[in-house]
Structure 1
Amino acid sequence: MTDRRGVVAKRAEDLVPGVPYVRGWNRARRSAGTLADQLVLLGLDSDFPGLVADVNVLGDGLVQLGTVRPDAAEMLAKLIAAGLQAELQGTTADTPAV
């Protein structure tokens, strides 16, 4: 599993000495927990039953959303877009007029 920029490497199946897998997995676990908390508040936790922390062969943490229904993915995308829009409007409102 590799993205366009080569940032995400293949999942760690076999561990190699010297790679900080625990550090990466722990970071992913915290991030997955934060996301899970927000999904609970939104009532979407049951739509993401496969949400788990993982780590890749380089020791980078991964957060797997699991298989989700299209409407759950669409709702998550809309929530992200709404948050970005609100952040942008807040930044614009805080900028003094020239």
Structure 2
Amino acid sequence: MPIHAPDQTSLFDHVPAQSTEAEDEARRKAARRMARHVIAELEAAPTKPWDEAACARARMLVTNATSWLPEDERDALRAAFAAALARHGAGTEAS
């Protein structure tokens, strides 16, 4: 009795739609909002507001969120985040 492999070409027929400029701009807007919120929280705190694990999560959030932004804006927000962390004596390995 021969074994026939099922036709799996349908698994690869779906091509994801390209994002629209409006969707990309919505991502950039959300990225700015998230990064600025984290930076503002750090700048407003009289002492370091988070433990090291939370600092690492915030660092990852800012790094990932700002990757959606134009290079100059990305670099400025990352520098502001690093400066706010440094003010509290927290390390800034990622940028």
Structures share a fold, TM > 0.5?
A: no
The structure with the largest helix share of the pair is: 2
TM-score range, shorter chain: 0.3 to 0.5
* Length-normalised TM-score, structure 2: 0.33
Q: Which structure is richer in relative contact order (CA contacts within 8 A, separation 6 or more)?
A: 2
Rg larger in structure:
2
